[in-house]
């Protein structure tokens, strides 16, 4: 049923074909028993996750090769929204997940398993490091967006505290605190 429609590009569907596809899909869903419908929805959600993970992995490679530029798009975001016709938020989430998965491939497994979603990966990505990514991804698994936002706030606060504790060295390697107030300002001023 859908295979006959897929032979055309998405932008070339005529109105009748779209209506036929919609009514066929709705009629097929309506014929299912409650148990069959629940099973089918779970299967379809799994297929959607698999397709999303595959798209994210391919976007990561497309980004690496900068193929969107060769296609006339100034950014991967433009490519995703214009050529792939993704909604802006969908494009942004997939691009962020693609870039994060290049650094931390375990993200793809977690997306496929459904323990993370694109929104939570986007939130976590700026806070992942080679040292913390496994524990952070474990902690974020199966959490809601709000719960992940709270985790991100804790990570950001810990990062700010760590930066505040690092000693600041001047250009000549001395500690500004040893130089006194004027010396510290002078040492930290750009040359």
pLDDT tens-place string over residues 132-162: 999 999 999 999 999 999 999 999 988 887 7
Number of domains in the chain: 1
Rounded CA-CA distance 75/21 in Å is: 33
CB contact set of 152 (below 8 Å; sequence gap of 6+): 123, 124, 127
pLDDT at 6 over 60: no
Are the C-beta atoms of 60 and 99 separated by less than 8 Å?
Answer: yes
The answer to the question of residue 120 being in a domain is yes
State whether residue 172 is helix, strand or coil: coil
Is residue 92 domain-resident? yes
Range of the domain at 110: 49-143
Asked whether residue 103 is assigned to any structural domain, the reply reads yes
Structural domain includes residue 90 = yes
Residue 88 lies in a domain: yes
Most confident range, picked from 17-26, 78-87, 176-185: 78-87
- Give the predicted TM-score (pTM) of the model: 0.73
What count of other Cβ atoms lies within 10 Å of the Cβ of residue 29?
Answer: 12
- How far is Cα 183 from Cα 167, in angstroms, rounded to an integer? 16
**Domain-located, residue 124:** yes
- Residue 117 within a domain: yes
* Residue 146 exposure: Cα atoms within 13 Å on the Cβ side: 0
Give pLDDT, residue 182: 52
């Amino acid at each position: 049923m859908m295979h006959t429609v897929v032979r055309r590009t998405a932008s070339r569907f005529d109105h009748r074909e779209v209506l036929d596809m919609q009514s066929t899909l709705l009629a097929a869903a309506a014929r299912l028993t409650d148990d069959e419908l629940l099973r089918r929805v779970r299967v379809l959600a799994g297929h959607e996750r698999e397709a999303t993970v595959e798209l994210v992995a391919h976007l990561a490679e497309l980004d690496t090769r900068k193929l969107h530029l060769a296609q006339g798009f100034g950014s991967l975001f433009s490519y995703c929204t214009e050529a792939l016709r993704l909604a802006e938020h969908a494009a942004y989430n997939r691009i962020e997940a693609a870039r994060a998965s290049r650094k931390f491939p375990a993200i793809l497994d977690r997306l496929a398993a459904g323990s993370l979603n694109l929104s939570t990966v986007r939130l976590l990505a700026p806070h992942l490091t080679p040292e913390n990514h496994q524990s952070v991804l474990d902690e974020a698994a199966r959490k809601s967006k709000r719960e992940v936002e709270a985790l991100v706030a804790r990570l950001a606060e810990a990062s700010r505290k760590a930066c505040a504790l690092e000693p600041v060295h001047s250009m000549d390697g001395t500690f500004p605190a040893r130089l006194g107030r004027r010396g510290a300002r002078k040492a930290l001023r750009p040359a």
